[in-house]
Amino acid sequence: MASRGESGMSNLEFHVLLALAGGPLYGLAVRDAVAAESGGSLAPRAGSLYRVLARLMADGLVREVAPAEELPPHPGLARRYYALTPAARGELLAETRRRKHAAAMAEKRLGVAPGRS
Amino acid sequence: MKRALLSLVRLFPPAFREQFAADMAEQVERDYDAARARGHPALLWFALATAFDLAKSAAVERWSPTWVHTPTTSTEEQAMRSTFHGWSTDLRLAARALRRSPGFTAVAAGTLGLAIGANAAMFDVVDTVLLRPLPFAHADRLVHVAASAPGTEMPAEFGVSLEFYLQYREQSKLLEDVSTYNSFTSTLRTEDRVERVRMSSPTNSLYSTLGALPILGRLPVAADEDRVVVISHALWATWFGSDPAVVGRVYDIAGRRREVVGVMGPEFRFPEDGTLLWIAGEIRPERIEPGRFWMPLVARMKPGTTPEAVARELTLLAKRLPERFGGSANYVRIMERHRAVVRPLTEQMLGAISRPLWVLFGAASIVLLIACANVANLFTVRTEGRQRELAVRRAIGAARGQLVRLQMAETLVVAGAAAAIALGIAWAGLPLFLRAAPAEVPRIGDVRIGAAMVLYTLGAAALSALACGLVPAVRASAPDLARLREGGRGSTRGRHWGRNGLVVGQTALALVLLIGSGLLIRSFDKLRHVDPGYETQDVFTFQIAPEGEALHDGPSFARFDMDFMARLRALPGVQSVGLVENVPLNEGTDVGRFRTEDMAGDPAAAVRLDFTFAAGDYFKTMGIDVIAGEPFSSTDLPSTLGKVVVSRSAAGRLWPGGGAVGRRLQLQGDSTWSTVIGVVEDVMQYGFRDTAQATVYFPLVGPTPTSWMISSPAYVVRTPRAESIAPEVRALVREVAPNAPMYRVFTMAGLARDSMVRLSFTMLTLGIASALALVLGAVGLYGVLSYVVAQRTREIGVRIALGADVAQVRRMVVAQGTRVVAVGVATGLAAALASTRALGNLLFGVAAVDVATFVGMSTFMIAVGLLASYLPARRASSVDPMVSLRGE
């Protein structure tokens, strides 16, 4: 399992992990969550999204899970659900801190007061 | 477009697809629909961006995979297995479904089978006769050489003469080997058998030119002179029981004792399939008389040269012939204008038959296309009927691919049955076809059902399955889900263009065939009504070759002939008897240069005329009109001495001022003059397409006993029993000349039929093909209109309920059919205009674009179309509005 370490993670990877942090989701729902949570700045197309998902799975950050019982049945093909692994939580946290730190530094340099908009 | 985008998902590696393909597809589909809702520009941008994204990601994924998860069995393997499993299940299901509708299955498989069978049989013939290389080593380097002399009295192509052979053989740098040959019928006598057979006396270089070696014995050499023969495999097998001891034996062959020195292999057949032996011989330069043009010449080119280059070289070589061999002024004049004609041997041997065969193969292929269109129609209608079932399948989760596969499985099962039927039809039909085919077609005897034909049949069936099944199958895969909601009625408007297109195509193709066969029928009719200058009805003809001590010169043969003719005349039912050296339609006459007493001073003024020898009541028996004077006396032989009969145009050319009777003429190279006693009508010697010949008829006996000797003339017998008299004649021959074989036994009517066989055979076969095409086309139109009427029953019911005239409803349906047929006829006319030229020289007295035929056949086609539309129209007009409305 390769650690992201200092190399950091891409914006898309971050948002995918972020989306899954709320609970297991299927592919299209991941995309929709990413689009919404990035404020529309990220709208990954199918090829890119699933390669990222595949990489995250290969790195042991995301795994496929059985759909929860209470999910409403969907007509048509069975969907695959994805969830974070325990390792992913640490990675996500570390990345969040890095981003927070970077954001704080930027605000300071740009002369914007933190916590307000 | 959506499907194209989705198909890009396949670019990903299989393992990746297995995990993510469904999700990717879901996203692409969803986004596609969303983009489409935003309008065309958005959709276009989405499509481009998505295609790029998918392709790029797939490429990167293949280059450096992120997804290396390996399942227990490879997904490819799994996919294969499930596909095979799916196919076998589908085929089983399809077979079961088809068994439940035997009518549909029988019609579909029968139609396809018939068309494929006819097509495969024609393919077999084309393949065997035309496509296979000639059975000689490096056959592509073999050429036929002839001569032409534009601007002289011999403008058409003609055979070369012996001096050409010598010159070419000794001096050509582009030819490896040259050989001349001929082909004739003569007597072969063994210990227990005597017959007239086809033989040839080629130069000994024939074998090396063609690259052939004997399977037994040796080839002739110069020292053999003409005392040895090489026999064909067929003769060896049939006359000699394939006994190797035949080599070294001596038999009576073509008038002298000759030794068999070799046996050729079965594939060596030259110049005709029926040539049974080859007499050895070499050209003696000292015996050459320049200008005796008649010989065919075959040559082998050196590798890397072309017929055109060879023709240039040979033309130059021939220019030097007069200085080497001398020759008459006329010969010199011809040689000044001489151009060598060089063409591939394949073309020479197969050229004449290739056109009819390709035409027939084309016709069979058109019938197959029409049959495919019909079966495609049947399947489409069947699919329409199953729309509800398919919609349900799709709704409960069947993939589109599965539905396509199920549909294709049905076409495949039908095509399989069709292939079996096709093989049966080819097996039964091919012998009939071959029996009707002209006997002179080379290699026609080799045509048999072989691996190539079976493969072709299977291939044609598979292609037909694709052609018939793909459109309905794809349509089946996208069933109209609205049907579920509407209770299976659904709208059908706008769905007919496909089937109308099929009917347009069918009509057009059928019309092309109809016009083609119409043109051939008219040609045949014209040819049958040609007046050849003689009557073909009630004339029986044959030849014998009597031999004996007493028969040694002209007068002795003439006495035999006169006695024999008297015996023939005594047979019951015989009205008159005559003889001729070369009977029309069977043999060519000799050609010579003649002069009159007026021309005596000027050798160049002599006229080229055909000549032959006649006796008895030849002109009366053949029904050749006597125009002036009288023909030879039928019984008084001495009275014919020194007399000749000339034909009308011969008289015209010798004495342009008229008054031929009583004048004298002389054959160049002959010292005696003959007096014209009668003028008769010209006859067509070579066939009904040629111009009639200007002919001089000499009597049976010449001025001296050795002037000429007619040893095996053709006897002609006029009798109403021409078809049945042969046995009595044979008995008579056995009596008067026990050892003389009787050969070339024909009726003139039979010879006339044979002379037209290439046309009549093509006409008959093309006629059958166009009749088939017409029926299939009419059935197709009928089917489409019936279906449309059935679909519109409700609409028609409403119209009638609202007071529409029944006749009006009927007209509406007929009009719909007529529109489709009209478009088909217009298309067909255009196609026919472009293609009837392919009939080429099969046509006689009819232009390739014959207005009467084009208009007539189009009218006929429209009439058939109207009939095919009328039946459904009548059904439509009898719709009971109450029933049709309640049916909803």
Tell me whether residue A15 is in a domain.
yes
The crossing angle, in degrees rounded to 10, of helices B345-385 and B400-436 is 140
Tell me if B781 sits within 8 A of B820, measured CB to CB: yes
Place of tokens 């068999």: B260
Cβ within 8 Å, pair A47-B30: no
Neighbours of B376 (CB within 10 A): 23
> B289: which residues sit within 8 A by CB, 6+ positions away?
none
Q: Compare all CA atoms of chain A with the CA of B13 and give the residue at the minimum distance.
A: A51
Q: What is the CATH number of the domain that holds A47?
A: 1.10.10.10
d(CA B364, CA B583): 38
Beta bridge partners of B771: none
Domain that holds residue A84: 8-68+78-110
- Kindly provide the b/e burial profile for residues B562-599, where b requires at least 16 CB atoms within 10 angstroms of the residue's own CB: bebbeebbebeebebbbbbbbbbbbbebbebbbbbeeb
> Phi, psi (5° rounding) for residue A7?
-65, -20
DSSP B127: I
Q: How far is B393 from chain A (nearest CA, A)?
A: 12
Q: Is the pLDDT of residue B39 over 70?
A: yes
| pLDDT bucket at B490, cuts 50 / 70 / 90 | very low
The reported pLDDT for the residue numbered B622 is 95
The beta strand positions in B425-516, using DSSP E, are: none
- Cβ-count burial B432-471 (b if 16+ within 10 Å, e if not): ebbeebbeebbbbeebebeeebbebbbebbeebbebbbbb
CA distances from B336 to B114, B163, B214, B316, B604 (A): 58, 15, 41, 10, 16
pLDDT of residue B407: 80
Predicted pLDDT at B540: 96
Beta-carbon contacts of A53 under 8 Å, excluding residues fewer than 6 positions away, are A16, A27, A30, A62, A82, B20
Q: Which residue has the higher pLDDT, B494 or B867?
A: B867
- Copy the structure tokens of residue B618: 């030849």
Stretch B10-24: mean pLDDT, rounded? 84
Q: What is the C-alpha separation between B338 and B154, in angstroms, rounded? A: 10
Q: What is the pLDDT of residue B72?
A: 44
Let me know if residue A98 belongs to a domain: yes
d(CA B206, CA B697): 36
pTM, full prediction? 0.69
pLDDT band of residue B625 (cuts 50, 70, 90) is very high
Is residue B716 within 8 A of residue B518, CB to CB? The reply is: no
d(CA B409, CA B476): 13
Question: Among residues B399, B373, B372, which one has the least CA distance to residue B476?
Answer: B399
pLDDT given for residue B779 in this prediction: 81
The answer to whether B402 faces chain A, any CB pair under 8 Å, is: no
- Is A79–B23 a contact, with Cβ atoms under 8 angstroms apart? yes
Residue of chain B nearest A47, judged by CA positions: B54
Cβ–Cβ below 8 Å for B66 and A51:
yes
What's the gap in Å between the CA of B39 and the closest CA on chain A?
Answer: 19
On whether any CB of chain A is under 8 Å from the CB of B47, the answer is: no
pLDDT band at B630; cut points 50, 70, 90: very high
Do β-strands B297-301 and B277-279 pair in parallel, antiparallel, or remain unpaired? unpaired
DSSP state of B130: I
**CA distances (Å), B881 to each of A57, B489, B715, in order?**
67, 17, 80
Q: 3-state class of A21 per DSSP? A: coil
CB B319 within 8 A of CB B338: yes
* A96 CA: distance to closest CA in chain B (Å): 24
Tell me whether residues B57 and A50 touch, CB distance under 8 A.
yes
Of residues B51, B90, B590, the one with CA closest to residue B292: B590
B844 confidence band (pLDDT: 50, 70, 90): confident
Residues 6+ apart with CB under 8 A from B613: B580, B581, B697, B698, B699, B700, B708, B710, B713
pLDDT of residue B661: 93
Q: Are B736 and B547 in contact (CB under 8 A)?
A: no
Determine, for residues B23 and A55 on separate chains, whether the beta-carbon distance falls below 8 Å: no
Query: CA of A18 to nearest chain B CA: how many angstroms apart?
Result: 19
Question: Hey, is B880 helix, strand or coil?
Answer: coil
Whether the pLDDT of residue A115 is over 70: the answer is: no
Residue A117 has pLDDT above 70, yes or no: no
Strands B742-747 and B539-544, sheet pairing: antiparallel
For residue range B339-380, what is the model confidence (pLDDT) as tens digits? Answer: 999 999 998 888 888 888 898 899 999 999 989 888 888 888
From A64's Cα to the closest Cα of chain B, the distance in A is: 10
Q: What is the pLDDT of residues B788-827, one digit of tens each?
A: 777 777 777 788 888 888 888 888 888 888 888 899 999 9
How confident is the model over B402-451, as pLDDT tens digits? 778 878 888 889 999 999 999 999 999 888 888 888 877 888 888 888 88
Nearest CA distance, B7 vs chain A (angstrom): 13
Band the pLDDT of B15: cuts 50, 70, 90.
confident
Contact A80 B58 (CB under 8 A): no
Q: What is the pLDDT of residue B884?
A: 65
Mean pLDDT for the stretch of residues B398-402:
75
Chain A: residue nearest B15 by CA? A54
pLDDT score recorded for residue B397: 72
Cβ atoms within 10 Å, residue B45: 12
Which of B88-97, B166-175, B307-316, B759-768 has the weakest average pLDDT? B88-97
User: What mean pLDDT do residues B737-743 have?
Assistant: 81
B58 inside 8 A of chain A by CB:
yes
3-class SS of residue B92: helix
Q: How far is B33 from chain A (nearest CA, A)?
A: 14
> What proportion of chain B, given as a percentage, has pLDDT over 70?
94
> Is the separation of the CB atoms in B583 and B686 below 8 Å?
no
In this predicted structure, the answer to whether residue B485 has a pLDDT above a threshold of 60 is no
Q: What is the DSSP code string of B403-420?
A: HHHHHHHHHHHHHHHHHH
For residue B646, pLDDT beyond 50: yes
Q: B80 CB contacts (<8 Å, ≥6 apart)?
A: none
Give the pLDDT score at B484.
60
Q: Which of A83-97, A102-116, B18-32, B719-733 has the lowest mean pLDDT?
A: A102-116
A56 in helix, strand or coil? helix
Q: What is the pLDDT of residues B551-602, one digit of tens each?
A: 888 899 999 999 999 999 999 999 999 999 889 988 778 888 898 988 877 7
Distance from CA of A100 to the nearest CA of B (A): 29
Which chain B residues touch A45 with a CB distance below 8 Å? 27, 31, 49-50, 53-54
CA distance B742 to B729: 9
Nearest to A27 among B23, B57, B66 (CB): B23
pLDDT band at A5 (very low <50, low <70, confident <90, very high): very low
B829 pLDDT above the threshold of 80: yes
pLDDT digits (tens, 9 = 90+) for B246-282: 999 999 998 789 999 999 999 899 888 889 999 998 7
Residue B837 has pLDDT above 90, yes or no: no
Residue of A nearest to B60 (CA): A51
pLDDT reported for residue A39: 83
Q: Does A58 touch chain B (CB under 8 A)?
A: yes
The conformation of residue B227, written as its DSSP 8-state character, comes to S
Selected residue of A26, A51, A63 to mutate for chain B interface (largest B Cβ count, 10 A):
A51
DSSP 3-state assignment of B136? coil
CB contact under 8 A, B16 and A54: yes
H/E stretch holding B426 reads helix B400-436
Number of independent structural domains in chain A: 1
What's the rounded Cα separation, in Å, for the pair B105 and B550?
A: 75
Q: A12, A13, A25, A45: best mutation site toward chain B, by most B Cβ within 10 Å?
A: A45
**d(CA A91, nearest CA chain B) in Å:** 19
Q: Is A36 on the interface with B (CB under 8 A)?
A: no
State the pLDDT at residue B73.
Answer: 46
Residue of A nearest to B397 (CA): A76
Of residues B28, B49, B66, nearest to A55 (C-beta):
B66
Q: What is the mean pLDDT of chain B?
A: 85
Tell me the one-letter amino acid at B618: Y
Q: What is the pLDDT of residue B494?
A: 47
Return d(Cα A30, Cα B849) in angstroms, integer.
71
Mean pLDDT (whole number) for B4-14? 82
What mean pLDDT do residues B752-771 have? Answer: 85
Q: Note the helical H segments in B320-399.
A: 321-325, 329-336, 345-385, 387-395
Q: Among partner residues A49, A58, A77, which is closest to B66 by beta-carbon distance?
A: A58
Q: How far is CA A16 from CA A10, A41, A46, in A?
A: 10, 13, 13
Q: Which residues of A touch B394 (CB under 8 A)?
A: none
- Cα B306–chain centre separation: 27
Chain B residues within 8 A of A46 when measuring between CB atoms: 9, 23-25, 27-28, 31, 50, 53-54
Q: Residue B119: what pLDDT?
A: 92
- Round to whole Å and give the CA distance between B189 and B547: 12
Domain ranges of chain B: 2-70, 86-137+353-491, 150-337, 497-531+751-888, 546-740
CA distance B499 to B513: 21
Pairs of CB atoms within 8 A across A/B: 73
Q: Which residue has the tokens 């062959």?
A: B253
pLDDT of residue B489: 47
Residue B233 and residue B268 in contact, taking contact as beta carbons nearer than 8 Å: yes
Q: What is the pLDDT of residues B662-708, one digit of tens each?
A: 999 998 878 889 999 999 999 998 888 888 889 999 999 888 888 88
Tell whether B163 is within 8 A of chain A (Cβ): no
Q: Do residues B679 and B647 lie in contact, with contact meaning Cβ atoms separated by under 8 Å?
A: yes
pLDDT score at B493? 47
Helix %, strand %, coil % of chain B (to 5): 55, 15, 30
Of A7, A10, A66, the C-alpha closest to A34 is A10
CA B757/CA B230 separation, integer angstroms: 33
Q: Which structure tokens are listed for B370?
A: 């029409």
Q: Give the model's pLDDT for residue B242.
A: 92
**Residue A88 maps to a domain:** yes
Q: Which residue in the set B19, B53, B69 is minimally distant from A46, CB to CB?
A: B53
Question: What does the buried/exposed string (b/e) look like for A77-90 if buried means 16 or more CB atoms within 10 Å of the residue's CB?
Answer: eebbbbbbbeebee
What is the pLDDT, as a whole number, of residue A107?
85
Look up tokens 């000749």; give the residue.
B644
pLDDT greater at residue B274 or residue B81: B274
On whether any CB of chain B is under 8 Å from the CB of A15, the answer is no
- DSSP helix/strand/coil, B212: coil
| pLDDT reading at B847 higher than 80 | yes
Question: B66 to chain A: which residues are within 8 Å by CB?
Answer: 51, 54-55, 58
Q: Give mean pLDDT, residues A1-12.
A: 60
- Classify strands B228-231 and B256-264 as parallel, antiparallel or unpaired: parallel
